[in-house]
Every structure is written in C-alpha cells, then in structure tokens.
Structure 1
Amino acid sequence: MTLSSSLLNAFAPTGTLRASINLGNPVLARRTDSAEPGGVSVDLARELASRLGVPVSFTSFERAAESVAAVTNEDADIGFFAIDPLRGAGIAFSAAYVLIEGCYLVRDASPVTRNEDVDREGNRIMVGTGSAYDLFLTREIKKAQIVRTALSEKVVDAFLRENIEVAAGVRQQLEADAARTSGLRLLDGRFMVIQQAMGMPKARGDEAAQYLREFVEDVKRSGFVADALARYGIEGASVAPATPV
C-alpha cells in the first residue's frame, strides 16, 4: 500500500516514528535488559512503524501523565493510554485494543469487604498520580479521600508506608504486590474497566487519526494483540471488541 506524503509526515515528521511508552502499566510495557523497553505497546509501535516504512524510537516514562504530556506536546508521535475525556483534549484516540481491570486492595484486617464500601467517610484511597484510575476516581469518589503517589507501580508501597485504607490500581500490579507482601487481599470484582488505546496529537489531522483507528482494528482482528498478550504471559487483560471505523 502506497502511503501519502502527508500521512507519513503526520506520523513521523522527523523521519522516525517516536513512541511514548508508559512503564507504569506492567500489563503493556516493561523494562528489559536492552536499551529498549518491551511489551505489547512496544510490539504495536514496531508494527505500525513497519507498515509506515519508517524506523521507530522509544522514550519511556515512569508515569502515565508524563507519557500523555509527551504526545500532547508533540514530543512524541504516538502513545498508549487509557481513554479519558481529560486526555482527549489534545490527543486523538483510537478505540481500545485491550481492556484492563481497575481494582482495590486492602489489608486482611480491613472492614472494607466490597467495592461499595470504599467510598465512605474516613477512607483514603492511594492512587498513582495522573493514572487512568486517578482520573476516574477523582470524578466518581464523593466521600473518601484520594491520596496520590508519584509512580503507579509504587502505589502499594506508599499505601503500606503511610497506613492508607485502600490502594487502587491495575489488577495485575496489585496481584503481584499482594503475592510478595503477606496480609493483603484484593476486593472481588472491579471498580472500572480501563480501555487501553493508541493515541496521537490531535494537531496531526484527521487522515492520520483515521489511519491509526484502522490500524488498531486490524491488529485486533488479525490476532496480533491476542498473540502479544499470550507471548508476554499477560493474564486478566482481554482484547477489546471490534469497533466500526
């Protein structure tokens, strides 16, 4: 397929597709022994670059908010984010390619036994600053207090250190933290479904945004995303359903 020069320039104005990677989401990205990160997001960026016929480079961030800012400010050409209205002000999102559960974690001795028990006076919820669940809970929580820590992957450490009542985050990260620390349990169910999508600066135009949406639908339909989840041993996340483009 021959791609227009305007499309290529929209995706890679420097000649290289610059991908922003959020290492705070262990489901989709991870550190490796090499200079480049690994994971589902990285594989998707490489596949998109291959289809565009350009090289790819990666800039990794510890926090979702930093990764979002890189794309919004056009310091990166694409990124991998949970869809959120606040982020959508400067980013053109695809539909979701992966669905991830947001869950709560408490101590074994906690009187909190259900998700419905969390939003009560006297409860504090530890979240990662600028994460999808921070944005969601900031809108939804009415009575409990939200307490923030810089890194999403350090939420449980901060929850324990500061003696907070509840930790909120991606199920896989909380399960891993509970496995290494005795006396913790996840509440049944989920408080939100995180819709992980690809995004690019809105200023790059409709043609590029449409191509990105079509790319995401194709990698879902072809099994690329499912294969990547399996390759990295990701459990508890699912390929998002098809969305018309």
Structure 2
Amino acid sequence: MSISTDIIQAFTPTGVLRASINLGNPILANRNAQTGEVGGVSVDLARAFGAQLGVPVELVVFDAAGKSVEAVTAEQADIGFFAIDPLRGQHIRFTAPYVLIEGAYLVRNASPLQNNEQVDQAGTRVTVGKGSAYDLYLTRELKQATIERAPTSPAVVDTFITTSSDVAAGVRQQLEADAQRIPGLRLLPGRFMVIQQAMGTPTSRGEAAAAVLHAFVEEHKRSGFVAEALKRHHIEGASVAPAESRA
C-alpha cells in the first residue's frame, strides 16, 4: 500500500507513531514480569502499522482502558486499541473490529445466581473495571442492579472480594485466571456481551487517515497476521473478526 506524505504526517505529528497500549486487557497486551517488556497482539499490530508508514513506534502504556481512550482523545497518542463503543466514537474514529472477545460474569460458589439473565435485579451489586467497555455497556444495559467500579479491569475480582460485591464482570480469560487463583468462585455460563476490538485514531486526523488505518486492519485480518498473533501469544477465547468483503 502506497501511503502519501500527508497521511504519514497526520499519524505522526511528533515524528513518531505513538501507540496507546492498554494492559488492562490481558488478551491484547501484557508486560513480561521478568523483562518488563510490553508485548501482545496490539503491540504487534502497532509495530506493523509503524513499519507500513515507515516511522518509529513509541508505546504509550496504560493499566486501564479508560486511560488509554483518554490518551487518544486528547491526542497524546496517535492510534489505540479499543472496544468499539458509541460514547468513545464521539472523539475516536474506529476501524472495523479485528478481534472478538467475550465478556462474562463471575460469582461465588454459594451465589444463587445461575445464569446471566438473573444478574440484573434490585439489590445485586456488579463490580466492573472503571471506563472499560464492560462498564460502558453495563451502564446502558443494567436497569436494576447497581454498578460498582474497580480502578482497572485486572483489579475487578480483588475489588469484588474486598467489597463483598455480588458479581464481577469483565474479560472471560481474566475472570477464569482469577477463579483459579482464588478458591470458591465460578463463572456463569455463556457470555453477556461480545467485545468488538478495533483500532482507532483521533477524529481530527481526518477521513483519509482513518481509511488507511481501516484498510490496514482489513489486510491484516485477511492475511492471517491477526490469527498468527493470537496463536503466537497463546491467546484462547478470542477469535479473529470476519474480514469485510472487498468492494
């Protein structure tokens, strides 16, 4: 793909491609405990896009989705990796999704809740990561249950335990890992939502830049790059979003 100088400049006003990376979603990014190095599917995509533009990549790393969104909204980062949400779409132009991720509920073994439909009832307290896609979705969808917010998605289960909340909500893989770490917990069957994970850039960068980013994502789904990245990072429970048909 030939990319014009104007488009490259739109993505790199500081001379480098600043990629906002959210460590709050372990499916897409993580920090190596031994080396401190940040890696994952979103990091691979950021570096691949930088290579396509022919520019260096700077990773701007956050521990929560909300902070990552704020960085792109404030143009402190040039691209980011987010769940598509209409509220976020006011300031960020999204590509089509590249990965689909399940959102799940976790409860104590003794909880009377047996399925997702039973969660939204008066008196039920649901803990979710502040500013996460799950927070945005449940804020719209839950009519009777009360939402309580942990500082980050990885902190949801620990907050759920310490506050004696009724339900923890978030990325299925994170909840499964926490259920193995802490005895007496179980996941409710199925999923309450599917996250459409996409790349995004500030709306101010213009439609032409957004179109280039969109085309990049479609090509990397179609080529098998995203599938190979999921396999390379040993990610289970996420699937590659279908590529859009060519016009």
TM-score interval, normalised by the smaller of the two chains: over 0.9
- When the two chains are superposed, the root-mean-square deviation of aligned CA atoms in Å is 1.0
Which residue in the other structure is 2:5 paired with? 5
Provide, for residues 69-113 of structure 1, a one-character-per-residue CA deviation record: whole Å limited to 9, x for no partner. Answer: 100111000000000000000000000000000000000000000
- Secondary structure, counterpart of 2:216 in structure 1: helix
Alignment partner of 1:104: what SS? strand
Q: Is the 8 A contact 1:36 1:58 kept in 2?
A: no
Cα distance between partner residues in 1 of 2:159 and 2:110: 18
Q: Distance in 2 between matches of 1:162 and 1:36?
A: 33
Match of 1:111 in 2: 112
SS in 2 for 1:209: helix
Shift of 1:36: 4.1
Q: Distance in 2 between the 1:87 and 1:35 partners?
A: 29
Matched, 1:67 2:71: no
Secondary structure at 2:20 match in 1: strand
Given that residues 106 and 167 in structure 1 are in contact (C-alpha distance below 8 angstroms), is that contact kept between their aligned partners in structure 2? yes
Equivalent pair of 1:22/1:67 in contact (CA under 8 Å): yes
Query: 2:16 maps to which residue?
Result: 16
Secondary structure of 1:95's partner? coil
In the aligned structure 2, how far is the partner of 1:123 from the partner of 1:189?
A: 19
Residue 34 of structure 1 deviates from its aligned partner by 4.1
Query: Alpha-carbon deviation of 1:244?
Result: 4.5
Any stretches of 5+ residues in structure 2 without a counterpart?
none
Q: Percent identity?
A: 64
Equivalent residue, structure 1, for 2:135: 134
2:18 is matched by which residue type in structure 1? R
Paired position in structure 1 for 2:59: 58
Q: State how far apart, in whole Å, the 2-side matches of 1:57 and 1:36 are.
A: 13
Deviations 1:39-62 (A, max 9, x none): 000000000000100000101101
1:1-245 residue pairs with structure 2 within 5 A?
1-32=1-32, 33-34=34-35, 36-244=37-245
Report the 3-state secondary structure (helix = DSSP H, G, I; strand = E; otherwise coil) of the residue aligned with 2:165. Answer: coil
Structure 1 residue runs of 5 or longer lacking an equivalent are: none
CA contact under 8 A between 1:126 and 1:148: conserved in structure 2?
yes
Q: Distance in 1 between matches of 2:221 and 2:10?
A: 23
* Cα displacement (A) at 1:14: 1.5
Q: Secondary structure at the match of 1:96?
A: coil
Give secondary structure in 1 for the equivalent of 2:10: helix
Query: How far off its partner does 1:4 sit?
Result: 1.1
**Cα deviation digits, residues 2-59 of structure 1 (max 9, x gap):** 4211100111111210000000000000012445410000000000000100000101
Structure 1 runs (4+) greater than 3 angstroms displaced: 33-36
- 1:198 and 1:180 map into 2 onto residues whose CA distance is 32
SS in 1 for 2:164: coil
The amino acid of 2:7's aligned partner reads: L
